[in-house]
Amino acid sequence: MTFTEKAANEMEERVDQLIPYSYSFVDISTFNSFGEKVLRNYALDLGYPLDFKLLDEVEQAIYLREKLFHLPLHYYRPLSTPTKHIQEILEAIKRLKQEGVATSSSRRSAPRHRSACSAWKRTSKPSSG
C-alpha cells in the first residue's frame, strides 16, 4: 500500500519486473482504494447498502453546500457569504476522522457544536425507499 496513485503504479511496475505475471498475486493499491475495497466487501456487515458511494473532495464540498442550511452551523455561515467556510469545515471533519475522534467525543470537546455532529450523521444517511 502507498499514498498516491503514482506511487502505486511505480510499485506495480517494479513488481512486474521482479516477478513473472503468472506468479504475482500481489494486490498493490493506495490506502484509499484498499479502504474502499474493505468497505465494499463488508458493506452489509457494517450496515451500509451495497450501492453506497464514496465522495471525492469536490463531491464532498457540493454535498456540504447542499446540506449546509440543514445543519446547525450558524456560526460558520456568515450572512454575506454563507458558503465561505465549507473548505474549513471539510478539513475539520477530515482531521477528526484521521485522528479517530468519535462523534460523541467530538461533541464533548466542542460543546458549542454538539448538535452539528448528530445533524451531519442524519443528513448523510441514505434515505430508505
Is residue 75 within 8 Å of 116, Cβ to Cβ? no
Task: Label residues 69-91 b or e (16+ Cβ within 10 Å = b).
Answer: eebbbeebbeeeeeeebbeebee
pLDDT tens, residue order, the chain (129 aa): 888 888 888 888 888 788 766 566 778 888 888 989 999 999 999 998 999 988 888 999 999 888 888 888 777 777 788 888 888 888 988 888 878 776 655 555 555 455 555 566 666 655 554
